[in-house]
Amino acid sequence: MSNMSNIPNVKLHPESWKQIKKGHPWIIKDQYTSSFSKSPFLRAIEKNQKVILLNDPSHPKIKARVWDNVELQASFDINTFRNQLYSRLEDSILNRKTLFESRDNMYLVFGEADFLPGLFIQKLGSVLLIQLYTEAYKDHFKILLKYFKEILIKNFPDTHWDGVFIQQRNHDKITEIKESPWGRYKLPNELTIKEFGVNYKLLVKNFYDQGIYTDMSAIRFKLSSDIKAAKSVLNLYCYTGAFSLYALSLGVEKVTSVDLSKKYLEWLEHNLGLNPELLTENHTSVAQDVPKYLQKTEEKFDFIICDPPSFSSNGKSSSSAFSQYEKLLPLCMSRLEVGGKIALFLNTHSITKNKFQKKIEDIIKNNKLKCHIIKHLGLEQDCPRRKGFPEGDYIKGFFIQKRA
């Protein structure tokens, strides 16, 4: 591909154009995409707008992603693409430079929001994890890796990197993982990383279940002053305990962690062991179904974190977190001290923030709960959101305070 004329022109559905104009970068499968060629880049023109697309013929749903909105007369060739790839990678990494000191656990590239559609890169300690949700980078992968390494070495000359994992997320079904060590280093299964001064064990090769939610890290930080002000913290659906250990590190005197999974609670205990300075006598683990725990306990707390999985099962029945809040929120409120705060989350892009807010307000009203929403919580810092792209806005949270 030497110039623009080698890139095939394609027609897009009017709905695709409508979405592109709003900022949405995906071309979803429709009658128009079935006539796309297999060329790595596509070009679409409507009136005075021209877009360059990364083609992804093998993807079952997202057939192409917008790479660039260009001037009608502008040329685009492989060098343009490579220059853009380099500068977008570098911008993404440099935008996060200030976070490097406080966290081993962060995103360096967050896909569509960094104008690198389908490409996510995490820094987990000295290990880097590249996740590809599209095959569109296949032909450019060597150069992508070369640029990425160059940028890191140029901007962080004193940092030691052990290696890169590359994970092709085959449309969320099968995932293969490859290693690209720097030097002779063999990537470990297990790794200890630091987030805000606290150590956590990660199983880096366990790609769906690595032991920490990197996208919640900025939210943990945002809540730090409220957590610190609490005497007691209840961490519901605690997983491996990131919020609990963070609360202990901030000096909270009583931290209770509840999760159905004994495996995750053992992992939490292991994490506690990695942090001998934390006062473990201030911590209690409870292996139980959250609603059952809330019904049974008589304790009250100053701060509750409630981060259920989108779909939860107690072994007998399963329900969505969205509908479960009808029961969960009144239960949480009954365990909260007056003046206390709850951070509650919903982990799905398919329910908008407004719909979730309306639900929470209805629950508050219908149950005559004495509380109000203080603020919204969502993806931020290293996990930015992109206007017009709801799929990338998948964490919705509300911060609620109880009144007398």
Positions in the binding site for ligand SAM (CB under 6 A): 213, 216, 237, 239, 242-243, 258-261, 264, 289-290, 307, 309, 312, 314, 347
Q: Pick between residue 319 and residue 401 the one whose CB is nearest to ligand SAM.
A: 319
Length reported for the chain: 404
Instruction: With H, G, I as helix, E, B as strand and everything else as coil, classify residue 259.
Output: strand
Alpha helices in 172-298 (DSSP H): 217-222, 224-229, 242-249, 262-273, 290-296
Q: Could you give the strand order of the β-sheet that contains 336-347, starting from the edge strand earlier in sequence?
A: 283-287, 254-259, 232-236, 301-306, 336-347, 395-402, 371-378
What is the identity of the amino acid at 193? Answer: I
Q: Pick between residue 224 and residue 261 the one whose CB is nearest to ligand SAM.
A: 261
Q: Pick between residue 136 and residue 304 the one whose CB is nearest to ligand SAM.
A: 304
Count other C-beta atoms under 10 Å from residue 398's C-beta: 23
Contact 107, 213 (CB under 8 A): no
Q: Pick between residue 9 and residue 295 the one whose CB is nearest to ligand SAM.
A: 295
Q: How far is the CB of 302 from ligand SAM (least distance, A)?
A: 18
The alpha carbon dihedral of 180, 184, 190, 191 has a sign of negative
Q: How far is the CB of 295 from ligand SAM (least distance, A)?
A: 12
Q: Pick between residue 114 and residue 215 the one whose CB is nearest to ligand SAM.
A: 215
Q: How far is the CB of 97 from ligand SAM (least distance, A)?
A: 24
CA distance 84 to 82: 5
Match 């569509």 to its residue by tokens: 112
Contact 392, 383 (CB under 8 A): no
Contact 140, 85 (CB under 8 A): yes
Q: CA angle at residue 24 from 384 to 31, to 5 degrees?
A: 145
Q: Pick between residue 249 and residue 347 the one whose CB is nearest to ligand SAM.
A: 347
Q: How far is the CB of 401 from ligand SAM (least distance, A)?
A: 20
Q: Pick between residue 104 and residue 259 the one whose CB is nearest to ligand SAM.
A: 259
Q: How far is the CB of 350 from ligand SAM (least distance, A)?
A: 16
Phi first, then psi: give them for residue 65, nearest 5 degrees: -130, 140
C-alpha dihedral, 292 to 239 to 385 to 349, nearest 10°: -40
Q: How far is the CB of 222 from ligand SAM (least distance, A)?
A: 13
Strand 232-236 and strand 254-259: the pairing is parallel
Q: How far is the CB of 218 from ligand SAM (least distance, A)?
A: 11
Q: How far is the CB of 59 from ligand SAM (least distance, A)?
A: 26
Q: Pick between residue 53 and residue 305 the one whose CB is nearest to ligand SAM.
A: 305
